[in-house]
Amino acid sequence: MSSPPRGEPPRAARDHDARAGARDQFTAQLEPVVRAAVQAVGFDLELLDVQPAGRRRLVRVVVDSDDGVGLDEVAEASRAVSAALDDRDDLLAGPYTLEVTSPGVDRPLTRPRHWRRARSRLVAVRLADGGQLTGRVGEADEEGVVLLVDGALRRLAYQDVARATVEIEFRQPAAADLALLGGGTASQRPGDAGEDGAEGAPDTVDEEESR
């Protein structure tokens, strides 16, 4: 058996890269269709992922909105996406399973709208310079966010954030903290901790399409 030329990756690696490239291209073609369907019913497309699953494809769609996304909203988005894919069956030429879900609590905060929707929530932040902090989210705009850190307000630019995620809490924040952040009460979104203490589990609707 001949060896690949020096500096050339093995065939298995080349085949894997080719499959990944084709999958990315396919997802890019599908994304405008899915995004339009999701936006038409009032939601944002957070993620579109298409993976082979045996003889069919798994189309995974993550949606969100300013008011949060519960099971009813996920079902509405699922119907909209399913109808849009039916209209463009030239893109999905074969059977597929559609999975529409809401973001989990561990979804990183990567866009300004993520920070706005996390107002009053406790977040863990890893800074670009290697530091770490935990704070409660206040007002957020397109450039940065105000955090309540150890009782003091701190302005943080998004460019200084390497990674940020919402922390799981099982009780409402202190009224004094909310007052420092501008008053009001902590936002309660679908998927937040309830009486059973299960916070942040994404709501999911699966639909199987056979062609």
Q: What is the pLDDT of residue 127?
A: 97
> Domain 11-105+202-209 - what CATH class?
alpha beta
CATH ID of 112-167, from 3.40.640.10, 1.25.50.10, 2.30.30.100, 2.60.40.10: 2.30.30.100
**pLDDT band for position 166 (50/70/90)?**
very high
Give the closest residue to 168 by CA, choosing from 195, 202, 192, 138.
192
Q: What is the pLDDT of residue 124?
A: 96
Q: What is the pLDDT of residue 135?
A: 96
Query: Could you tell me where in the chain the CATH 3.30.300.70 domains are found?
Result: 11-105+202-209
| Averaged pLDDT score across all residues of the chain | 82
Q: What is the pLDDT of residue 52?
A: 87
Q: What is the pLDDT of residues 71-127, one digit of tens each?
A: 999 999 999 999 999 998 888 778 889 999 988 878 899 999 999 999 999 999 999
Q: What is the pLDDT of residue 210?
A: 43
**Is the confidence at residue 152, as pLDDT, over 70?**
yes
Query: Could you tell me where in the chain the CATH 2.30.30.100 domains are found?
Result: 112-167
Give the closest residue to 160 by CA, choosing from 118, 136, 131.
131
**pLDDT band for position 13 (50/70/90)?**
very low
**Is the confidence at residue 180, as pLDDT, over 70?**
yes
Give the closest residue to 139 by CA, choosing from 126, 127, 156.
156
Give the residue-averaged pLDDT of 42-66: 91
